[in-house]
Amino acid sequence: MLAKNLPFNKEKLEEICSNHPTPFHIYDEKGMIENAKKFNEAFSWNEGFREFYAIKAAPNPFLMKLLRNQGFGIDCSSMAELLLAEQVGMRGEEIMFTSNDTPAEEYQKAMELGAIINLDDIKHIEYLEEHAGLPELISFRYNPGALKGGNIIIGNPEDSKYGFTREQMFEGYKIAKEKGVKRFGIHTMVASNELDPDYFIETAEIIFDLILDISKELDIKFEFANLGGGIGIPYKSEHKPVDLNRVSEGIKNLYEKLIVANGLHPLKIYFESGRAITGPYGYLVSKVLHIKETYKKYAGLDSCMANLMRPALYGAYHHITVMGKEDQAHKFLYDVTGSLCENNDKFAINRLLPEIHPDDLVVIHDTGAHGHSMGFNYNGKLRSAELLLRENGEVVEIRRAETYDDLFGTLDFDTAANFE
């Protein structure tokens, strides 16, 4: 029997639903905090290690405050995310700003906050200098091209819009040094939702080798290596989570061999994981509205891909639990759908599940990253609430559901009424 754990049972969820109408996303505080502690512990050998949580995965100040309490920084890629960091009270080098095709006002805000700026384009050195000035500390994002394979979410590095080529990395650091930049970091990220632990060890080796070569040629000292995110989670029950201790041990061995042995110690190791931190600890809770039978069976929910678009966007798998029927045989074949006027509005296709009836509560797993945050308003669908299940069992609404007043708030109906 396929199964994944939940932090609540049917009775608890019914109690929650009595106060918070479906659909909603709910996050497990205890699971997130325990996971964050494990992440920190795995890399505790590296002095200055820090995880910069990729806030794009779940942009909510309540979640960021919980993670900041574990020593996490924040990885931002837009003005809104910088403003969120500011509202949480974050400043300086606990913010990493990694963006692409970046407008001047976002660089200006990053400079105002004292964030670490991680450039994606060699031409942005001049652009940043012109519009915001150059900081004392700067980092560049490396695209290794054919040296490293990507995956379906980001694509192959050679086809990726992100990062500097190897030759541009040397040129970029040379330019920055000549312009008076004193402190340097380096960054890469070339895959997303990767489950092979060796992938991250190999990535570290590529970056450490590049640090060695650039340091020798340009006589500069790197303060940190940001190895990016991309650590996957086991969306399917048969998948294994990434063994962080194995990743850490492999990186530590390379660190001793390439960094310490060549006099480049200390070098801080950074990550910018999002999915791996909160992904498994979020759940989309929905109620079954209709069961339709035509050429196949459809279980229609009160949520849709506006609440979770990964299955429609990537064909991604998300496990589904029908509450109270966990032990029943999964022998009924369904497409699990939403109500958008798009035929790809499906959470699952040809999924074997217990027999489903209207009003059944359905939980879609692993929505704690790139779930609510990727929502939208097509067909005028309203964004759902976000809830936090505290360690003591209390449930807190950390984002209210949208209303139609919110949806229409940017429209001028009075002027439209007289428009001809």
Q: How far is Cα 184 from Cα 173, in angstroms, rounded to an integer?
A: 8
Q: CB count, 10 Å around CB of 216?
A: 11
Q: CB count, 10 Å around CB of 410?
A: 6
Catalytic site includes residue 341: yes
Q: How far is Cα 7 from Cα 13, in angstroms, rounded to an integer?
A: 10
Place of tokens 């997130």: 32
What per-residue string of b and e applies to 99-134 under the rule 16 or more CB within 10 Å gives b? beebeeebbebbbebbbbbbbbbbebbeebbebbeb
Contact between 88 and 61 (Cβ < 8 Å): yes
- Which candidate in 17, 76, 304, 341 is catalytic? 341
The DSSP string of 147-187 is GS--BTTTB-GGG-S-SB-HHHHHHHHHHHHHTT--EEEEE
Paired tokens of 109:
């805000």
What per-residue string of b and e applies to 44-83 under the rule 16 or more CB within 10 Å gives b? eebeebbbbbbbbbbbbbbbbebbbebebbbbbbbbebbe
Distance of CA 69 to the CA centre of its chain: 19
Q: How far is Cα 321 from Cα 286, in angstroms, rounded to an integer?
A: 11
- Residue 33 burial (10 A CB sphere; 0-12, 13-18, 19+): middle
Q: How far is Cα 416 from Cα 180, in angstroms, rounded to an integer?
A: 55
SS3 for 1?
A: coil
Distance of CA 274 to CAs 35, 47, 71, 263, 287, Å? 12, 22, 15, 32, 28
The DSSP string of 18-44 is HHSPSSEEEEEHHHHHHHHHHHHHHTT
SS3 for 252?
A: helix
Q: Which of 174, 293, 189, 200 is nearest to 252 (CA)?
A: 200
Query: Which residue numbers are catalytic?
Result: 341
